[in-house]
Chains A and B, each alone.
Chain A
Amino acid sequence: EAGVVQSPRYKIIEKKQPVAFWCNPISGHNTLYWYLQNLGQGPELLIRYENEEAVDDSQLPKDRFSAERLKGVDSTLKIQPAELGDSAVYLCASSQYGTSVTGELFFGEGSRLTVL
């Protein structure tokens, strides 16, 4: 079975440009997460979806970041406009019922963004 798939793996853009990341979770996983991972740091939650509903987006910088999960399957995370400080790895993860029931988050390989 395929794991969590993310694209692109790498993206280099100039500041003020837009960028979008795509994630396809494991089939049947209703919970999807976008995490931000800065170099040498742990993952930090940006947004969590239960099916198509965003249930935790308190850490998402809504002035420039947006996300959607149409039909409760794959998801897109967008940044517009990108800033130098947005350079990081954007990790997507999925789980079947949320961490409380099954425990395990399955992560994708991540999308590494470099803003010049």
Chain B
Amino acid sequence: GENVEQHPSTLSVQEGDSAVIKCTYSDSASNYFPWYKQELGKRPQLIIDIRSNVGEKKDQRIAVTLNKTAKHFSLHITETQPEDSAVYFCAASKGYSTLTFGKGTMLLVSP
């Protein structure tokens, strides 16, 4: 089955800096790659996703890039703010299969 590796496990940045979280996947047939944000004690929520027919997608301060050849995708957050502090999960799936999640990255943005 699919295996998703996520790095780093923790990331500390100063407010205003950029943050990058990277994921690799094992199944070359995977074609859908979402990112979820989970604030402490709350439910995971989708923040951005990308499908394998595009290489990059941007939504305001967040962007996701996909390299199908290398089987990795990344989340980029620019101009980080304290409210960006949360755990971020990447995930992957193919066709109608279920999402496989990474282990998460705890992002801490210090004022």
Chain A residues engaging chain B, CB cutoff 8 angstroms: 4, 33, 40-45, 48, 56, 91, 98-101, 103-105, 107-110
Chain B, interface size category, equals 20 to 34
Contact B99 A105 (CB under 8 A): yes
Chain B residues engaging chain A, CB cutoff 8 angstroms: 4, 6, 31-32, 34, 36, 42-46, 49, 89, 91, 93, 95-104
From B96, B103, B104, contact of A100 by CB (8 A): B96
From A44, A56, A100, A110, contact of B101 by CB (8 A): A44
Contact A103 B49 (CB under 8 A): yes
Contacts of B49 in A (CB 8 A): 103-104
Contact B43 A103 (CB under 8 A): no
Contacts of A100 in B (CB 8 A): 31-32, 93, 95-97
Contacts of A98 in B (CB 8 A): 96
Contacts of B4 in A (CB 8 A): 42
Contact B46 A40 (CB under 8 A): no
Would you list the 9 A-B pairs with minimal beta carbon distance, nearest first? Answer: A42-B101, A107-B43, A100-B96, A104-B46, A98-B96, A42-B103, A99-B93, A42-B89, A107-B44
Task: Give B92's nearest chain A residue, CB to CB.
Answer: A99
User: Which among A41, A43, A108, A110 has the greatest number of chain B C-beta atoms within 10 A?
Assistant: A43
Contact A99 B43 (CB under 8 A): no
Contacts of A105 in B (CB 8 A): 34, 36, 44, 46, 99
